[in-house]
């Protein structure tokens, strides 16, 4: 079974430029998550989708970050304009669903490492 796919793996941009990351979840997984992991810290949730609807985007800096999940499958996370503090690894994860009975078990992709100069 294929895992969560992410691209690009690495991206270097200058501040004020824009960048986009793509994620394709595990087939059949209804829930998709974007996490931000700054060096030395645990991952922090940016946005959670259930199918193509947003469940939680309370920690997404909406003045510069946007995300969409058209058709309820793959997703794109965009940053525009980027700031120095956006340097981090952006992790995509998916799960069958949420809640009990194992449906909330998360599986992560390899991540996209962003460096903002």
Q: Is 23 in the site for other proteins (CB under 8 A)?
A: no
How many residues does this entry show for the chain? 117
| Closer CB to other proteins, 14 or 56, in the complex | 56
Measured in Å, how far apart are the chain's first and last C-alpha atoms?
A: 37
CA dihedral 80, 81, 86, 89 (to 10 degrees): 40
Q: Among 11, 24, 25, 33, which residue interacts with other proteins (rule: CB under 8 A)?
A: 33
Residues engaged in binding other proteins (CB under 8 A)? 33, 37, 41-45, 48, 55-56, 89, 91, 93, 98-100, 102, 104-108, 110-111, 113
């Amino acid at each position: 079974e294929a895992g969560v796919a992410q691209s690009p793996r690495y991206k270097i941009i200058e501040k004020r430029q824009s960048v986009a990351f793509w994620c394709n979840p595990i087939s059949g997984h209804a829930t998709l998550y974007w996490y931000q992991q700054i060096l030395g810290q645990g991952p922090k949730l940016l946005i959670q989708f259930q199918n193509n609807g947003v469940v939680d985007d309370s920690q997404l800096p909406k003045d510069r970050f946007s995300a969409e999940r058209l058709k309820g499958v793959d997703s794109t996370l965009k940053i525009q304009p980027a700031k120095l503090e956006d340097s981090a690894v952006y992790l995509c994860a998916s799960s069958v669903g949420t809640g009990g009975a194992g449906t909330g078990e998360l599986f992560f992709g390899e991540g996209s490492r962003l460096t903002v100069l």
